[in-house]
Amino acid sequence: MGLDQNHRVAVVTGGARGIGRAICLALAENDTHIYFNYSRSSESARETEALIKKKGGRVSSACADVSVEKEVQNFFSAVVKETGRLDVLVNNAGISKDGLLPRMKEQDWDDVIDVNLKGAFLCTRAASRQMLKQRSGRIINISSVVGLTGNPGQANYAASKAGLIGLTKSVALEYASRNITVNAVAAGLINTDMTQTISAAEKKKIAQRIPLGRIGEADDVAAVVAFLASDRAAYITGQVIHVNGGLYL
């Protein structure tokens, strides 16, 4: 079965809210059965499900922490048992625990690396078992501009996002011969819960530094993910696509 045909199955991690929700909605438009997970936000998960169903899409969700191997295994086993296939994985789940390095707690380092980087490793390993059998698949990792530029106060987060780029390129090379593409989307500053701690005044200042003159929206990222997940992106692998309004050129 080709990737753009009926009954395509996509897993989006952290799909309950923010960029993950927008990705679920964008992928659902293409007659794809969406499976997403969340770790805490069950109410937001119900909202995402309702939004997809309202558009006529098919969706299922489950509580599963991407940093816990057993939960990841159970989640992906259930998807494959139910559908018999897995076409798209979007490693979107992520957290930030910012702080200047001298005061950064070891736990804050570990938590961010565990969710953002180890989580992507665990999900990629679990999903690719089925993709390797199918000899087709799309894996898309949501990285960040700070994985390339660095950012004071975000050593843990920037390291995790830079690590995702190394993971993307290595797995792209490993899986290319099996028709599985692996790409990263490096997002700039996007309006979501994650960036709500930045004051309106600070956001205005940042927007002035962005060539396109505005902070991004979750849909800006989701549109690129939907493209990378489609047959139209069949010849793109190992790439980092920047979605940042020109912030990093």
Residues making contact with ligand NAP (CB under 6 A): 13-14, 16-20, 37-41, 65-67, 92-95, 115, 142, 144, 187, 189-190, 192-195
The CA radius of gyration of the chain, in Å to the nearest whole number, is 17
Minimum CB distance to ligand NAP smaller for 31 or for 217: 217
3-state class (DSSP) for residue 85: coil
Minimum distance from CB of 169 to ligand NAP (Å)? 18
Minimum distance from CB of 74 to ligand NAP (Å)? 13
**93/81 Cα distance (integer angstroms):** 23
Minimum CB distance to ligand NAP smaller for 90 or for 136: 90
Minimum CB distance to ligand NAP smaller for 136 or for 141: 141
Minimum distance from CB of 145 to ligand NAP (Å)? 7
Question: Pick the catalytic residue: 38, 157, 175, 235?
Answer: 157
Minimum distance from CB of 174 to ligand NAP (Å)? 22
CA dihedral (58, 60, 120, 132) in degrees, to 10, reads -60
For 214, other C-beta atoms within 10 Å of its C-beta total: 13
Minimum CB distance to ligand NAP smaller for 30 or for 92: 92
**137/147 Cα distance (integer angstroms):** 25
Decide if 157 is catalytic: yes
**Dihedral sign, Cα of residue 184, residue 187, residue 191, residue 195:** positive
Q: Name the residue among 185, 9, 197 with its Cα closest to residue 95.
A: 197
Active site residues: 157
